[in-house]
Structure 1
Amino acid sequence: MSLDLTVILLSDQDMGGSFMFKQVCREGEAYLNRYARELMNDEASFQVYYWGANPNHHDNPLHRHSFFEVCYIVDGEGMYVDDGEEHPLKRGTLFLSRPGVIHQIRSQTGLFILFVAFDLLSSKSGETCRNHFLRLREAERMILSHVEEISAVHLWKALLTEAGSRHPIKNEAMIKSMAHSLLLSFLTAFLEHGDMQMSPIPQSSSILLQRAQLFIRDNLSSPLNLNDVANDLHISGRHLARLFSRELGCTFSQFIRRERIKAATRLLTAGDHTIKEIAEMTGFGSVHYFTRVFSQETRVTPAQYRRRYMGK
């Protein structure tokens, strides 16, 4: 029997402890992050921020995203916190993290988890699909248990198997089509339901850095600690610090400060937020500290910046 067919025929229970499937997931994750990031057609176009497969996920910090993230538990037990409510996680659970909602995954023993982060490109998608994804943002059923046999789960396993195969020729178009179908299948899931010695391919530095940047930008109002962000990516704080220094030429703290200033300038020129509100929304905490840092970066105070902009 071929590798691909063997993997597809494995049950979740077999997969949870299968060295072979874990390796295939690693290969598939790397391939998808390289080739399946933009998924386009006339009706629905998607931007995928990252694909992931982690056989030993423990805790991550409370955080939120500006995009959708869907996760599937291949094996293990844990807890998912969504907007303050706790939901048990176990083998065969599919769950949705909605944009803007604070959430967290916790596990003492570790979870084998598959995940994908994405958003609909509204300007390149049809009206029907746009409406569906608007509904998905408000979905009441975010946790689906015992769903090993639904189409989304079968598609996900087949996609990872195909993308993670060692066949010398891969059909990129087919894999992208499968990935596109998987993202659409989440609508059905959440809206209508109510031993092979292969070295794993490490997640690329660019993907890790992009995920770190997304996390920071989506959580600017919260205290952002190097180790907390690194834990969310399942890497060390030292590794993350090196990524910022090597790839962006700045420290982790400098990047956060820069992003907070960018966000503050946008808020100062749009809306009616007070200086105090903007200081809190961008994570500076106090008006005094916000004013001092903003003035150092822009040579004007927040109030002066706002007046200059409004006077144009």
Structure 2
Amino acid sequence: MYHWSQSEERLNRYAGRLEGESLSFLVHYWGTVRHLTANSIHRHSFYEICYVDGGTGVYTDENQTYPLYEGVAFCTRPGRLHQIKDVHDLNLLFVAFEAIEKPSAPDVSVKYMEALDRCAVWTEHAGESPATQIWKSMLIRSESDDSLPASLLPKLAHVLLQSFPGLLGASGSFESAPLLSSALQLIQKAKLYIRDNLSGPVSLPEVAAYLNVSERQLSRLFAESIHESFTTMVRTERIRAAELLLQHTQDPIKVIAERTGFSSVHYFTRLFTKFKGIPPAAYRAKWALEADQQE
């Protein structure tokens, strides 16, 4: 019914930064995957919302376990250890993103994230929800004449992400949610700064100065809020950015190492292999092969 790999490529190309009047989003990646394989236990520094379009599996969030089957939607929050396992023909739609603070409406993004944090981790019977119908409408159908034009994707994607609190059962509107603490707002700003400056040697003193806080305070905020050190956070972001570039560009490995702030190709290759279990070039080839097989 859908061209899965082509749908994923198109969404990642046209629906990355989603601008709204009072709320905008930065999408790190979209996924439309047939027969998803199990993954290892890991955590993100962003939100990821998933919808099961077929098959079965198990999702774990910290110490909780949730069954996966058609019609289930679930949410992974920042800093939570999670895993998808015991899969069988699992078809999954997913999107990883964060809300962006806008100077014209500085409180809306943190209220939105607070609404997501109040949501249920797992919900069933999501297949007929307006949010899921919008999501599926953005996919490329096997009958290409029935597919929506790419020019509509940014607006539809924005509506989709804005509707996630309702999809996952948040009571009321996110506009009325209480504000996040000033500490979590600082962490959010620090993350954005790190991601915008990965090509350089991002340091704790540099980010602390940007946020106008002490180095000690910033280090403590990272440890207490997302249970990671500043150094670990930067390293994770470099690996994440490199992974996306390997998936969606044909840039040489040396260029990717430079763009993501690694001091040398050798160091990049060694660190990427350590954390992903496969060298960068082999990862790119494996990802491309799996994408071709899913079409």
- Band the TM-score falls in, shorter-chain normalisation: 0.5 to 0.7
CA RMSD, Structure 1 to Structure 2 (Å): 4.1
Task: Deviation per CA, 1:235-276: give whole Å up to 9, x if none.
Answer: 9xxx9xx988354357887238789xxxxxxxxxxxxxxxxx
The structure 2 residue matched to 1:38, chosen from 12, 17, 32, is 17
Q: Distance in 2 between matches of 1:125 and 1:160?
A: 32
Gaps of 5+ in 1: 1-19, 195-209, 260-282, 284-312
Whole-Å separation in 1 of the counterparts to 2:170 and 2:115: 11
Instruction: Name the counterpart of 1:75.
Output: 54
Which residue number corresponds to residue 122 of structure 1?
A: 101
How far off its partner does 1:144 sit? 0.8
Q: Which residue of 2 aligns with 1:310?
A: none
Does the 8 Å contact 2:48/2:94 carry over to 1?
A: yes
* SS, match of residue 118 in structure 2: coil
For residues 139-288 of structure 1, what are the structure 2 equivalents within 5 Å? 139-161=118-140, 166=144, 171-192=149-170, 245=253, 247-249=255-257, 254-255=267-268
Partner of 1:100: 79
Cα deviation for residue 101 of structure 1 reads 1.0
Cα deviation, 1:126-177, whole Å, max 9, x if unaligned, reads 3563243232352251101121111111110111147x87459974442211
Tell me, yes or no, if structure 1 residue 51 matches structure 2 residue 64.
Answer: no
Aligned partners of 2:107 and 2:166: how far apart in 1?
Answer: 14
Contact 1:136 1:190 in 2 (8 A): no
Q: Do 2:10 and 2:150's aligned partners in 1 also have CA atoms closer than 8 Å?
A: no
Counterpart for residue 223 of structure 2: none
Deviations 1:198-252 (A, max 9, x none): xxxxxxxxxxxx9xx9xxxx98759x9xxxx9xx99x9xxx9xx98835435788
State the one-letter code of the partner of 1:186: F
In structure 2, the partner of 1:300 is none
Q: Which moved more, 1:90-99 or 1:115-124?
A: 115-124
Q: Aligned partners of 1:149, 1:137: CA distance in 2, in Å?
A: 20
Pick the structure with greater CA Rg.
1
Give how far 1:121 is off: 0.5
Distance change >3 Å, CA 244–CA 101, structure 1 → 2: farther
SS in structure 2 of the partner of residue 123 of structure 1: coil
- Secondary structure of the residue aligned to 2:102 is helix
Quote the Cα distance in structure 1 between the aligned partners of 2:8 and 2:80: 25
Which residue of structure 2 aligns with residue 9 of structure 1?
none
Superimposed CA distance per residue, residues 14-46 of structure 1 (whole angstroms, 9 cap, x where no aligned partner): xxxxxx32x2x3222111111110110221111
* TM-score, normalised by the number of residues in structure 1: 0.55
Mapped to 2, the partners of 1:243 and 1:107 lie a distance apart of 35
1:295 corresponding residue in structure 2: none
Deviations 1:58-87 (A, max 9, x none): 211111111110011011111111122111
Query: What 5-or-longer segments of structure 2 have no aligned partner?
Result: 173-194, 199-225, 276-295
Q: Which runs of 4+ in 1 moved over 3 A?
A: 164-173, 191-194, 218-222, 242-247, 249-253, 256-259
Aligned-pair CA distance for 1:107: 2.5
In the aligned structure 2, how far is the partner of 1:61 from the partner of 1:119? 22
Query: Structure 2 length normalisation: TM-score?
Result: 0.58
Partner of 2:215 in structure 1?
A: none
